[in-house]
Amino acid sequence: MEAFRQGLRELGWVEGQNIIIDYRFAEGRLDRLPDLADELVRLKVDVIVAGPTPPAVAARNATRTIPIVMTNAAEPVELGLVTSLARPRGNVTGLAWSVNLEIIGKGIEMLKETVPKVRRVAVLANPANPGNVLAVRDVKAAARSSGVQLQILEARGPGDLDGVFAAMAKERVEALLVLADSMLTLHRARIADFAAKNRLPSMHGLREEVEAGGLMSYGPTLVANFRRAATYVDKILKGAKPADLPIEQPTTFELVINLKTAKALGLTVPQSLLVRADEIIQ
């Protein structure tokens, strides 16, 4: 988010001088999003920046007139947020997340490269996140071609995590794939702790989860997207219509590996992966 504010400053928008930003955070509770979005509409803001997927959907449900700049929203066409990426048409534009079959497939392959014997992989998803629902479909397709068996485990809130952990332990999964989701990221320490205690190598969509102790992450570079969101806000405040601003897809992806975690798990990360890593946590 600091990247977003920095982007605004570089474009001449200074908080408290020519722009006011009203922040609303769901703090991982997706059920709060509709009310928070309604609050912003009642405040008559000039534009709403919303991300990732659940906030973007909540904002879209709250207004069809106030411009919305989504950040990191998964598959906006499939979710009905826009009619096309090139010409969004409605009041929504911005940046897509688009972690598709190819990206998820790469993630699974990297996991297999590190742990070649892995066959049973648990997938941790939040079914309340429409982006995760679509990602599960892609994970299933990627697993078919990778020859791994999946155990899809769902957690809508932190209260579901203990049950999910118990199911993983019971099924004796050999690795863990955590889909990108606000609630899961908020509880990344618990997830990393469980993975460490059960000696599970893990692949994540967000680098923060690797910084918290996950083994590796592969996905779009979020900071770049937040900075780009500022350019959309700038254009809209200067009179551009969201419908005329094409949606951008991520162009930079990053691989982050936590070698400390690898060592604790007794794993040797192959050199072929280390040379591709954008960051290695020692």
Partner 1 sequence: MRRIGLAVVLTVSLTLAPLAADAQPTGKVYRVGYLFGRLCHCFRRFHA
Task: Select 22 or 282, whichever has its Cβ closest to partner 1.
Answer: 22
Nearer CB in complex with partner 1: 32/140: 32
Q: How far is the CB of 6 from partner 1 (least distance, A)?
A: 11
Contact positions vs partner 1 (CB under 8 A): 1-2, 4, 12-13, 17-28, 30, 33, 36-37, 40, 43-52, 54-55, 58-59, 66, 182-183, 185-186, 208, 233, 237-238
Contact yes or no for 155/164 (Cβ under 8 A): yes
Residue 176 DSSP SS3: strand
Smallest gap from Cβ 209 to partner 1, in A, equals 12
Cis geometry, peptide bond prior to residue 242 (ω within 30 degrees of 0)? no
> Cβ distance 250 to 221 under 8 Å?
yes
Helices 2-10 & 222-237 angle (0-180, nearest 10): 40
For partner 1, the closer CB: 4 or 194: 4
Residue 177 beta carbon to partner 1: minimum distance, rounded to whole angstroms: 20
| Of 169 and 223, CB closest to partner 1 | 223
Alpha helices (runs of H) in 86-221, residue ranges in sequence order: 101-114, 130-146, 161-171, 182-186, 188-197, 207-211
Q: What angle do CA 145, 137, 142 make, to 5 degrees?
A: 15
| Distance of closest approach, residue 248 Cβ to partner 1, in angstroms | 19
- Intra-chain end-to-end CA distance of the chain, in Å: 26
Cβ burial, residue 91 (10 Å; 0-12/13-18/19+): buried
User: What's the min distance (Å) between Cβ of 21 and partner 1?
Assistant: 5
Q: Which is nearer to partner 1, 40 or 247 (CB)?
A: 40
Could you tell me how many residues make up the chain? 282
Residue closer to partner 1, measured from CB, 144 or 241: 241
| Smallest separation (angstroms) from partner 1 to the CB of 53 | 8
Cβ atoms 113, 269 nearer than 8 A: no
